[in-house]
Structure formats: structure tokens, C-alpha cells
Amino acid sequence: MSMWAIFYRLREAREGIARNTWASIATVVLLTLTLLMFGGFLWLNANLAQVANLLERQVQVRVFPAEGTPAETLLTRVEVLPGIRGVELLEGESAYERLAPVFGRNTLMNALPADAFSDSLSVELLDPELANETVELIRDLDGVGDVIWGQGFAQVLYRISNSIQKGGIIFIIGFFIAALLMSLTAMQLAVLNREVEIQIQHWVGVGPWGIRSQFLIEAFLLGLFSSILAGASFLYLGEVIQKIIISLLPFMSSQLSSPKLVIGVVLITGPILGLLGGGLASQRAIGKGR
């Protein structure tokens, strides 16, 4: 397509959008909402997966000996198990010492029995993803009283993430179909409004794709405009949401993924959605101008 062809097509597209003002506004609003939902879903999902991953990687296994088993004895049994990077003995006394500056030594002595803090083992794993198996091995050892570790929370987050992913995909597909239908309707109106133009172009020798291109450009512009609006809104809303998450979960401050990638995806998706609507609607134009 030559430079002048693009110039004329852009002018026609601008006039077309102005002619179908309300249909164009409705299309842009619906496309923008869809893209916002789509971006929000992507971002939420990426962050939930990241939190779950972070929690799992930071998993600390704490092993408490059974009554009558010295922690030192258990340490020698645990450290030889496969999947163990290292084992540290945590004396109950040290926990007492750590709490004393906070609550006061006297308060603690009065409030807690003498053996309130038993000795335990802090176990570091080689591969956090094999935590389940390793924990089971530890549990099977003689002299193990209790094993506490944080994967339960991580698994809950994974489940939430998966549910959002599945539900979100259905939700997004529904919105996409609605947005596509809206874009299709707007472009069909544009085709109907331009029957005379299409006929004239046909008579003077414009090819089917030449006729179609004006509708594709128009739809592309609507999609692009929607994606810019959605991207800008997402940039603003993303910051607000980020602040809320950090205020609730301060440890996430360095872990939240940047919304920039999501904004990039949104910017690409809008014009694609517009082009799909324009492409389907302009089949009609090609039929008229065969």
C-alpha cells in the first residue's frame, strides 16, 4: 500500500469513526473494560504464583523431638537423609533469650513453665519442590515428635491461583466474545453506512483488499485507542493495587511483578481484537465489491 493510500485510508477511517460516534464510543468502552479485566487477571495470576513460589522457596522445616529423645540424637538421624542441605540445633533456651528483651525476663518466667521452649531442629532443604517427600522421610524417623513447615499456605495460594486462572479464562473468553461482537457490530454499521462508497470504489477499480483495508484500519484504530486507555488505566490502578498489597503483605514489596509486561500485552491485544472485528465485518464489504 502506497503512502497516499495510507493517508487516504486514515482520513476515511477518521471520518468513519466520526460518523458512527456512538457505536465507536460503545466499542471503545467495552474493549477498554475487557482489556482491563484481561490485564488485571494476568497480573493477579502472575503475582499469586510468585507469592506461592516465594513461600515455598523460603520454606523452613522445624522438627521437634519426641519426648525422651535428645535433639542432638535426632540431628544425626536427620542430617543423613537425602534432600537435606543442613540441620541446625535450636535450643529452647535461645528462644527464651530472644523473647526476653521484648516481654521482659520476669514476665516470661512468671507466665511460662520452665520447659516452655523445647529444643528443636531447623532443617534446610536442598530442593524446596521436593519438600513433601523429604518431610515424610523426617516424619518416619524414630524419635520425631512433630514436624512444622510452611508449605500448607503455599499450597492454598497455588489453589487460589489455579482457580483464578480457570475462572478467569472463562470470564475473559466471555468478555472477549462480547467485545468482538461489539467491534463487529460497529464495523458492520460502518459497512452499511458506506455502501455507496464501496460501490464507487468497486466501479473505479479498487481491489477487494483495498476496499477492506479502510475497515481494518478503522477497527485497528478503535482497538489501539481502547488499548491505550486500558494501558493508562492499568498503570494508574496497578500502582494503587500495588500499594494496597504492600500495606497488607510488606514482605511482598520487592517481589511484586511489574505491571509493564502486562501493559505491553494489553497494548498488543487491543488492536488485534479490533482487527478481528473489522476483518469479520469487512467480509461483507468484499462481497459487495467483488
Partner 1 sequence: MVGASGMGKTTLLKLLYKEEIPDNGQVLIGDMDTARIHGSKLRRSMGIIFQSFRLLEKKSAYENIAYGAEVLAMPPPEVRRRTKEILELVGLENKSHRLPSELSGGEQQRVAIGRALINEPKLIIADEPTGDLDPENTDRVLGIFDRFHKEHKATVLFATHAVDVVNRLGRRVIRLEDGKVISDATGGYWAGEKKESAS
**Site residues for partner 1 per CB under 8 A:** 1-2, 4-5, 8, 196-197, 199-208, 210, 290
Rounded CA-CA distance 74/5 in Å is: 81
Cβ-based nearer residue to partner 1, 200 or 249: 200
Q: Tell me the closest approach of the beta carbon of residue 278 to partner 1, in angstroms.
A: 18
**Given the complex with partner 1, which of 91 and 195 has the nearer CB atom?**
195
Residues 191 and 215: beta-carbon distance below 8 Å: yes
Minimum Å gap between C-beta 19 and partner 1 is 8
Query: Which of 110, 93, 288 lies closest to 206, judged by CA?
Result: 288
Q: Rounded distance, CA 289 to CA 204, Å?
A: 11
Residue whose CB is less far from partner 1, 92 or 208: 208
CB of 248 to partner 1, least distance (A): 57
Please identify, using beta-carbon distances, which residue of 22 and 203 lies nearer to partner 1: 203
Beta carbons of 49 and 252 less than 8 angstroms apart: no
Task: Write out the three cell numbers for 58.
Answer: 523460603
DSSP 238: H
We find the least distance from the C-beta atom of residue 203 to partner 1, in angstroms, to be: 4
Q: Long-range contacts of range 126-130, CB-CB < 8 Å, 24 or more positions apart? A: 126/83, 126/84, 126/85, 127/83, 128/56, 128/57, 128/59, 129/56, 130/83
Query: C-beta of 36: minimal distance to partner 1 in Å?
Result: 35
All three cell numbers of 103: 516481654
SS3 152: helix
Rg (CA), the chain: 31
* Closer Cβ to partner 1, 82 or 290, answer by number: 290
- 202 or 284, CB closer to partner 1? 202
Chain length of the chain: 290
Nearer to partner 1, 15 or 124 (CB): 15
- Residue 147 β-bridge partners: 63
Q: Show the cell assigned to 81.
A: 537423609
CA 34 remoteness from chain centre: 15
CB of 11 to partner 1, least distance (A): 8
**Taking the complex as a whole, how short is the minimal distance between the CB of residue 188 and partner 1, in angstroms?**
20
CB closer to partner 1 out of 8 and 103:
8
Residue 288 C-alpha cell reads as 459487495
**Across the strands, what pairs with 273?**
none
61 beta partners: 123
Residue 252 burial class via C-beta count within 10 angstroms: exposed 0-12, middle 13-18, buried 19 and up? middle
Rounded distance, CA 53 to CA 128, Å? Answer: 10
| Closest separation in Å from C-beta 201 to partner 1 | 5
